[in-house]
Structure 1
Amino acid sequence: MSDSITKTCIMDLPINYYSSFNVYQSLMMQKIQNILLVSSPYDAYLMEEEGNLTSRIINEYRGLNLTRPPSITQISSAEKALAYLSCKSADMVITMPNVGDMGVLSLAKKIKQHDPNLPVILLAHGLPSVASLLQSNSSRIFDRIFIWTGNSDLLLAIVKHVEDVLNVLPDTQQASVRVFIFVDDAPDFRSFFLPFLYKEIVKQTQGVLSATLNEEHRLLKMRARPKVLVAENYEEAMDLFETYQTYIMGIISDTRFPKNNKMLDNAGILLLSQMHKQMPDIPLLLMSSDAENQKFSKEIPAKFIHKKSPQIQKELRKFFLHNLHFGDFVFRNSEGKEIQRANSLGSFESALKKIPEDSLRHHAQNNEFFSWLMGRSEIALANIFRSVSISDFPSTGSLRYFVISNIHHLRKCQQHGIVVQFQGEIFDADIFDFTKIGNGQLGGKARGLAFIARQLSHETDFFNKYKDIVIRIPKTIVIATDIFETFVAQNNLEDLSSPSIENSIVRDRFLKAAFPENIVSQLKQYLIQVKHPLSVRSSSLLEDALCQPYAGLYETYMIPNNATDIEIRLDQLITAIKLVYASTCYEGPKSFSKSTNNLTHDELMAVIIQELAGETWEDYYYPAISGVVQSHNFYPIAPITPDDGIAHIALGMGKTVVEGERVLRFCPKYPNILPQFSSVDDILKNAQRFFYALKIKNNTQNRLFREESNLERLEISDYESHDVVRQLSGTYIPEEHRIRDSGALNGPKVLTFASILKYQLMPLPEILSDMIELGTKAMGGPVEIEFAVNLKSSQTPTFYFLQIRPMVAGGEKMDVKISDDEKEHSICYSQKALGNGKNTAIQDIIFVKPQSFDISKTTDIVSEISSINAYLHKERRPYILMGPGRWGTSDRWLGIPVQWNDISGVSAIVEIRNKDLMADPSQGTHFFQNITSLGIQYLTVTEGTEDRIDWQWIQNNPLQKETSFLQHVKTPQPIVLKVDGRQSEGVILKN
């Protein structure tokens, strides 16, 4: 078999088979929930001598970690039972022999006449009470006959056996569930042996389930446990064998039972011999009360157990472990000597890399890999292994590659969409996608990631559509909220939630605090394997919530994680975690929490440690593209509609986008409609000039954890030698005053992203359209998605799904109408307004004096705004804030770089766009997300359009305070602010 064929077989394993668990959801659809027990009061008394039957069966279910135990309704006579069934339903009837005057045979016949498919089980107190019945054909009216011995395990076995019979056909067809055939005609031995058989199957199946599965998936996978079918004669056994031959896991047979309606002493020997002839590799077990029959078992060949052996349970367990492969996989050499063991898929994969060639070929030739995987319910891969033979491979090396690659692929597939508890001894950085340290909550941001990871694991069609693109969530480990609680409590940091404590004091206290030793140990185990750059991000309980997302309020740190000394890397990681923790007590989050009526001391923080999306370019690490895409566009331009969405992208780290610097804005559905790039002059003016990157060489501790950011802000023109810059740029030709769509030409580079949007270097617009459609459907409303893209020419393009959060505007249900007269006589009118509603409680207006505005002084303006805001916020006086440029940007040349704590009392914001400061609306920033989530109306007034603002009326109001750049006025009466969210229009009116 060639490598190409081998790789095809690997891809044939469905990516969503294990992660979605759809196949397990559809198994065991027919459950026994209601049992009707028909018995005389005395029989019922005997059965309940050791306790209530329902309680006992519930205890049996709990003891085996099985779900949904059935309920039992006990009725004392046949007549009452028939009356019950005429008006109520039951899933199974268990009847004792003594049921009143009618007789048990008559009862069974009438039940079958009423419902031929209703299982009827005869349960007797001893073999003599049913001896005459067994000798006649009339016993066939019962689905099965058992003997009560006082063991409540029998009830569980009866329930499971009936469920197996009801579900075996659909479950084998849908999921290739394995089947056991148990052949024995004696009700007493069957009643003794079947409970033990079921208990052993359940325990062994639970024992081999991967420790990496979460509890939900372990329970689902239990539905694929082997089924037990019972035959009482040769013909029944052969019929079951031929019907389910493809799915048979093993056969256990008595030696003496009927064949052709005659009792044969060697029927079991004949049966197993025939089955071995048809399926040479099937495990067989012969049982007999006569020890002499052991010699015949060797001729079949089959294992042998003496029915009267005091070690019968121990011997059966040995058969399960060694012959049915529920135990360790024992690797043996050509002489049969044990050379290695594997007790998990991980250790199995490791052993496969080391065992000698003769051992590998021996186990493959005997289909032992198939059998061992089936014992673990790894049905899909087991079937792939069974479909090939050694002769398909040109060499033992290609066989080894095939087996190892498929096992590795299976282990990866198992983890798609699953959050796994971190265990250092089994952690494998290449296998585990999403891991959790601690027992607390994941926090909002991590919860959103875990949710979308699970949703994406179901989207087979989506991944098939983009086969040439790697689409994934970066590998993630989350430190749960309980670790934060422990850290704060052990270091007495609770007092830092007070609003009066400065950030620098908070930061210093958190950095000096001791981190829990057990978590330090686990993080060290993590770092032993993980050596790529990391992003350490917040995931508070309130972050990315449906109503108030708390976007961008907490700290994020990127660390190179490339020091040769692991202690240095560990120290940097713990420092980053502490600083993320500290940010819960910083001034910004406190102010925001106060505005939302949430309490800072109630906030709990989880931390996301994530593979940092990006690539190495000389001394720096950054992705080709970072961006934000939103499913709702607040500022559409025809033919674009609001539901077509809007994307903002930039070269380098996403800080450029989320903090409102120069980015490229486009609609994924119409990627070539670019208003900000409508002419060469517009492109030169609006194109991104700076980008952010993580310095990975010669980075100092002080630089890594400085307060403003540990990323470097680089000028694009200084890094035109980087392939990715040329890849995404055009070249400006001054003498032609044009930009050519190639970064390979001589001349200044201009970041146009034409290779993506125009020439489809990768189908980013299409991926984004599909992503927002999937996200909106999954979250039940508009969403915002953060993403990154790697484009290194030597590698497959990779799309990283970084974050998803709901988009919230608030108040959309209020019907607000703005008349033409109101537009004409308004103080302010905007054709691009965000929010929805009417506000009549504002009298205060803070505005930047048009005649005093200086773009170079925007940071000074922030200080003045912050001072007036503090006063008005304390007085609980809401206000309107007006000024030029983009509010909340980190680029002071595009607008006024306020942060939330600078404007925490604001009720509405007016952004003024004029010929000197015409920054494009930035919908992808954290600032933008937070103001819309709080219901703060945002009006954009563009000079030279139908928008208007009456400066004369505003300035004629009583002056409250004037600074170098601001005026604060108060109107005699509250003004009226109206925003029509459906039309994106807003007005401010005199009252």
Structure 2
Amino acid sequence: MSENTPQQWNKFYLKDVTFMNLMTRRIFNVLIIANPYDAFMLEDDGRIDEKIFNEYTELGMRYPPTFTQVSTTEEAADVLASTSIDLVICMPGNADNDAFTVARDVKDKFPDIPCVVLTPFSHGITRRMENEDLSIFEYVFCWLGNTNLIMSIIKLIEDKMNIEHDIAEAGVQMILLVEDSIRFYSSLLPTLYGYILTQSQHFSTEALNPHSAMLRMRGRPKVVLARTYEEAMALYEKYADNTLGVISDCRFPKDGEKDSEAGLKLLREIRERNEYLPLILQSSETENKAKAEAEHFRFIDKNSKTMSLDLRAIMAEHMGFGDFIFRDPKTHKEVMRVRTLKELQDNIFKIPYDSMLYHISRNHMSRWLCARAIFPVSEYLKTVTWHKLQDVDLHRKIIFDAIVQYRHMKNIGVVAVFDRGKFDRYAHFARIGDGSLGGKGRGLAYLDNIIKKHPEFNEREGVSVSIPKTVVLCTDVFDQFMESNNLYEIALSDASDEEILRHFLRAQLPDKYIADFFTFFDATNRPIAIRSSSLLEDSHYQPFAGIYSTYMIPNLDDKYQMLQMLAAAIKSVYASVYYKDSKAYMTATSNVIDQEKMAVILQEVVGKQYGDRYYPNISGVLRSINYYPIGDETSEEGIASLALGLGKYIVDGGQTLRVSPYHPNQVLQMSEMEIALRQTQTQFYALDMKDVGGDFKVDDGFNIQKLKVKEAEKDGSLNYIASTYDPYDQVIRDGIYEGGRKIISFCGVLQQGVFPLPELLQMSMKYGAEGMRRPVEIEFACNINADRTGELYLLQMRPIVDSKQVLDEDLTAIDDSKCLLRSHNSLGHGISEDVVDVVYVKTDDNFTASNNPRIADEIERINRKFLADGTNYVLVGPGRWGSSDYWLGIPVKWPHISAARVIVEAGLPNYRVDPSQGTHFFQNLTSFGVGYFTVNTYKNDGIFQKELLDAMPAVDETQYVRHVRFSSPLKIMMDGMKQEGVVLLPSDGGR
């Protein structure tokens, strides 16, 4: 027996280089064929470079992958001429051909470079891809803005390149994923790799030395994706002895045809050969659950809100800690089975001597631990081979001590990446945590990038353009908060919004962020906005505009009181992910709420303090496409909505001033005195600096004051933005004069050049739309000082998802008699031929706007039935849909009308409200291709054959609303560039 001591075998460890030869084929250079915004989103928000840099340096590799972005064949050729590319990622944006063409050119010249497609599965792109030859691509992935998918793609390709060598070299393990649905494997792969890589990351912080950390991470399990029965079986047969587990769909191709039980057949075949391998069946068909459980397979319901949580739980319990069977070396019979690390710890001194000797001498135990991602213990034991230390009892003690050490450290959290030493009043944009910035955070970071790239924004004396001082709490802080407080059960339940908020407010944010928050407070002397920035919100192709909450807190001298308010606000934003409206929106957008992750933006509120209130002179929303051009405006010149005070007023559908930045002198609302007086802003929002309680409510506006414009006049905040109505001379004069009503006209900024806002907005639109390669929406706020200096702050940017359905027909040539509805002022673009239902508000002589809140409730109930049936309808009603002021229209929220395919504002002779452009719904309307029509039949502006609907039998009728159904579909056609829209009656009458 050797007399070696643990101290002595430590020196042998550095010579044990088994793992040095693993993962030798790597991806060093990635070519991304995409528009600049997509590329920025990957590089700056996803921090792909940074994440992979960390892993590579830990692996002792000197050259982490670099990402190069191109948009054209010429650019691709230049890069390929000078760089050896290892992977091409093709991102075909919304529906343009360029990316596919460029990728095909690359593949023609370099057939051996792996090439993958990464695309949003929007309506347009899905149809385009049906006609594309995708055979040149290794894989097609579905892009939902989750940057971890890029990491997963690189790992998947690397695993494919290395698996054969690494299994032969060191017995690395394989997880076999069998799935043919692009949407599902795109969301599953990040979960799988997230689990494996996070484990490795956590362990590396507690590594015995850098060398052990490096070796351990190279031994992580490989993930292999199979898309047919034959491919899966071939992979299993090749690597049967090194398979860690199988995760299989149920319905996928077998023998060239879709087989509804292919997954069951595959798992049965594998179970025949391996009695104890973890086998997981996942299916969206619930009847498969009983079939799976009857054969002792694990089952995951694809429809479950907690699908990825369920998968993570099964991986943690079974794949990481599967059964280890101790055998008698002579008879090969089982002498003991351990299922968990703790069982191994508890039983290590009870295992028979011969069996221990058999397994230690063959290194089985370290391989078992390695396969379960328990790398610290595995690597530790791998160095203590039998020829180095021939003492069974000393081995038992070493294993026992190693497990105790591992179990002690495995719950240590991720260290926050926020440098308190550097964040001061000059700091600009920082993040706390390692996850994603979320949708708004991405847009904000990109805006910051645009401002830096274009110094012309800040060329003028006394004019500054920037984003507000910002700190983002990344999505991993949200994960930690949810898990440590066990909040998923209440969050995913049907509890009321108030009850969910109560649970969240009782929960604890991690104490380790307190010092970071105090540092942020020290760096700013302004109030702080706490905004949602979810993974799906404002994502490139599925904008979640206005679904989650934004709270504001005042800046206080008592920083501990401020900390309490900040913590409550963060928890309230987290809670809003799980409110009823958010869940309804998830259903409407076919997203799984469990995939939602929330980052939180802490941002200085733009404005000035006036006594006990705080607000900016100007807030605005800028859109680079204008669906309501008037006069010599064009659609491409964009449109801005301006208002005094906090921007919540605009989002809530308040009265704003509409102006094209290219035509600042042409303001419709100021063209006639009567219109100017009627359509001017009369109220504004300000932050109440006195409201310092911790009584946070579901309504995020609980400490926002709604004030009359004359209060702003007292504050002296109307300089350069107001005109005065002179009742004696019956004229409106630019500027502020004694007496007379103040009209919010922004005349100083728009017409008198006091501050170059129109030019700055033109630049913002131009550079934003160029970067995203599609129309954008930008929120901004502005402070203008008495000395004509000022600051413009860009608050967020999101794409306007523009449908490109081809519409060849001239809608104006269609005969009026064929139209149920015709609008000459329509929003939306495309054709729809599957709607048979019309829901309309009864507008007889008894109609009064005071009933609008009750009408909203009735419509929400009807909408729920359509959501449940998965069908759509045409919605018609008077005034502005979604206005928070119910005298102007019916105060619905988007989830209450989310099944509508066309929404119609139908004016009445005695109830005339100017068209709203769908304000709050604008992003949702364009995202879902929903039409928004304005019809005023009383002045011969459009057609609405209401009498025809009145004559039809009602499917459903309430006090204020009727629902009728045609026997065959209506044809909806919208021309977005000409603002013409029609709903055609069925050719067969259909009644």
TM-score band (shorter)? 0.5 to 0.7
The structure-2 alpha-carbon separation of the partners of 1:959 and 1:441, relative to structure 1 and needing over 3 Å to count, comes to: same
* 1:760 counterpart = 2:760: no
Letter in 1 for 2:641: H
Structure 1: give runs of 5+ residues left out of the alignment: 1-58, 70-87, 92-419
Counterpart check, 1:592 vs 2:585: yes
Structure 1 equivalent of residue 743 of structure 2: 750
CA distance in 2, matches of 1:795, 1:641: 31
* Counterpart Cα distance in 2 of 1:701 and 1:60: 45
| 1-structure distance, mates of 2:918, 2:841 | 25
Cα shift at 1:867:
1.5
1:510 and 2:504 equivalent?
yes
Q: Are the structure 2 counterparts of residues 821 and 728 from structure 1 closer, same or farther at C-alpha, using a change threshold of 3 Å?
A: closer
CA distance in 2 between partners of 1:64 and 1:898 (Å): 56
Query: 1:708 and 1:742, CA in 2 relative to 1: closer, same or farther beyond 3 A?
Result: closer
User: Does structure 1 residue 971 correspond to structure 2 residue 976?
Assistant: no
Root-mean-square deviation (Å): 2.8
Deviation at 1:809, TM superposition (A): 3.4
Alpha-carbon distance change, 765 to 919 in structure 1, aligned in 2, over 3 angstroms: farther
Match of 1:714 among 707, 730, 738: 707
Equivalent residue for 2:473, pick from 469, 475, 479: 479
Among 646, 652, 667, the alignment partner of 2:645 is 652
Cα distance change on mapping 1:864 and 1:61 into 2, 3 Å? closer
CA shift for structure 1 position 914: 4.0
User: How many Å separate the matches in 1 of 2:419 and 2:588?
Assistant: 42
Equivalent pair of 1:424/1:526 in contact (CA under 8 Å): no
- Cα deviation digits, residues 78-115 of structure 1 (max 9, x gap): xxxxxxxxxx9999xxxxxxxxxxxxxxxxxxxxxxxx
Q: What is the 5 A alignment of 1:100-499?
A: 422-464=417-459, 466-498=460-492
| Residue of 952, 957, 973 corresponding to 2:952 | 957
CA contact (8 A) 2:418 2:431 kept: no
User: Is 1:855 paired with 2:849?
Assistant: yes
Name the SS for the 1:700 alignment partner: coil
Q: For the residues of structure 2 that align with 1:726 and 1:469, how far apart are their CA atoms?
A: 17
| Counterpart pick for 1:790 among 783, 786, 792 | 783
Matched, 1:542 2:530: no
After superposition, the C-alpha distances for 1:800-839 in whole angstroms (9 at most, x for unaligned) are 0101010123243454553623444311101122222222
2:889 corresponding residue in structure 1: 895
State the match for 1:987 in structure 2.
Answer: 982
Which structure is larger by alpha-carbon Rg, 1 or 2?
Answer: 1
> Could you say if the C-alpha distance between residues 707 and 779 of structure 1 is closer, same or farther in structure 2, counting changes exceeding 3 Å?
closer
1:947 — aligned with what?
Answer: 942
Q: Residues 832 and 971 of structure 2 are in contact (CA less than 8 Å); yes or no, is this contact kept in structure 1?
A: yes
Match of 1:581 in 2: 574
Deviation at 1:604, TM superposition (A): 0.3
Structure 1 pair 525–767 and aligned structure 2 pair: CA distance change class (3 A): closer
What's the TM-score, normalizing by structure 1? 0.57
Identify the match of residue 832 of structure 1 among 812, 815, 825: 825
CA contact (8 A) 1:661 1:894 kept: no
Cα distance in 2, alignment partners of residues 845 and 430 from structure 1: 56
Instruction: Give CA deviations for 1:921-966 in whole Å, capped at 9, x if unaligned.
Output: 4348332211221111111113313411111112112112222221
Q: State the distance in 2 between where 1:565 and 1:971 align.
A: 64
What SS does structure 2 have at the residue aligned with 1:482?
A: helix
Aligned residues: 587
Where does residue 624 of structure 1 map in the other structure? 617
1:776 is displaced (CA, Å) by 0.8
Which residue in 1 is equivalent to 2:916? Answer: 922
Q: Provide the C-alpha distance between the structure 2 equivalents of 1:509 and 1:694, rounded to a whole number of angstroms.
A: 26
What is the identity percentage for the equivalent residue pairs of Structure 1 and Structure 2? Answer: 36
The residue type equivalent to 2:925 in the other structure is I
Whole-angstrom distance in 2 between the partners of 1:550 and 1:495: 24
**Amino acid corresponding to residue 433 of structure 1 in structure 2:** H
Give per-residue Cα distances to partners, 1:300-352, cap 9 Å, x unaligned.
xxxxxxxxxxxxxxxxxxxxxxxxxxxxxxxxxxxxxxxxxxxxxxxxxxxxx
CA drift at 1:467: 3.5
Distance 1:894 1:443, change over 3 A: same
Residues 399-457 of structure 1: CA deviation (Å, up to 9, x unaligned):
xxxxxxxxxxxxxxxxxxxxx98534413322221100001110011011111211221
803, 808, 813: which one aligns with 2:796: 803
Q: CA offsets, 1:447-497, max 9 Å, x none?
A: 111112112211123322x33311110010000000101111111111245
Whether the 8 Å CA contact 2:564–2:694 is kept in 1: the answer is no
- CA deviations over 1:38-87 (Å, ceiling 9, x no partner): xxxxxxxxxxxxxxxxxxxxx99996956799xxxxxxxxxxxxxxxxxx
Taking the aligned partners of 2:543 and 2:890, their CA distance within structure 1 comes to: 23
Deviation at residue 603 of structure 1 after TM alignment: 0.2
Q: Which amino acid aligns with 1:911?
A: E
CA offset digits 1:265-323 (Å, max 9, x no partner):
xxxxxxxxxxxxxxxxxxxxxxxxxxxxxxxxxxxxxxxxxxxxxxxxxxxxxxxxxxx
Q: Aligned to 1:533, which of 527, 533, 546?
A: 527
CA separation of 1:913/1:432 partners in 2, compared to 1, >3 Å: closer, same or farther? same
CA deviations over 1:770-816 (Å, ceiling 9, x no partner): 11011111111100110000013258300001010101232434545
Choose 883-892 or 515-524, whichever is displaced more: 515-524
CA distance in structure 2 between the partners assigned to 1:467 and 1:90 by the alignment:
44
Q: 1:874 to 1:961 in 2, by over 3 A?
A: same
Instruction: Kindly state the Cα deviation for residue 676 of structure 1 after the two structures are TM-superposed.
Output: 2.3
Separation of aligned partners in 2, 1:424 and 1:795: 37
CA distance in 1, matches of 2:555, 2:457: 33
Aligned residue in 2 for 1:931 = 925
Look up the match of 2:680. Answer: 687
SS at match of 1:701: coil
* 2-structure distance, mates of 1:477, 1:660: 28
- AA matched with 1:503: D
CA distance in 1, matches of 2:736, 2:967: 60
In structure 1, the partner of 2:731 is: 738
* In 2: Cα distance, 1:848 partner to 1:499 partner: 33
Alpha-carbon distance in structure 1 between the residues aligned to 2:609 and 2:65: 53
User: In terms of mean alpha carbon deviation, does 622-631 or 891-900 score higher?
Assistant: 891-900
Look up the equivalent residue of 1:766 and give its one-letter code.
Answer: E
Mapped to 1, the partners of 2:83 and 2:962 lie a distance apart of 80
Please give the alpha-carbon distance, in whole angstroms, between the structure 2 residues aligned to 1:585 and 1:899. Answer: 16
Alignment of 1:808-887 (within 5 A): 808-813=801-806, 815=808, 817-818=810-811, 820-851=813-844, 852-887=846-881
1:607-618 paired onto structure 2 within 5 Å: 607-618=600-611
Q: Contact 2:569–2:696 (CA<8 Å) still a contact in 1?
A: no
Cα separation, partners in 2 of 1:709 and 1:935, compared to 1, 3 Å = farther
**CA shift for structure 1 position 556:** 0.1
Shift of residue 733, structure 1, vs aligned partner: 1.3
* Change over 3 Å in CA distance of 1:592–1:814 after alignment to 2: farther
Q: Residue 566 of structure 1: CA displacement?
A: 1.6
Distance 2:508 2:691 in 1: 27
Structure 2: stretches of 5+ with no match in the other structure = 1-55, 67-80, 85-414, 987-991
* Residues 1:867 and 1:577: Cα distance change in structure 2 (over 3 Å): same
Residue type at the aligned position of 2:922 = F
Residues 67-82 of structure 1 aligned to structure 2 (within 5 Å): none
SS in 2 for 1:721: helix
| 1:491 maps to amino acid | N
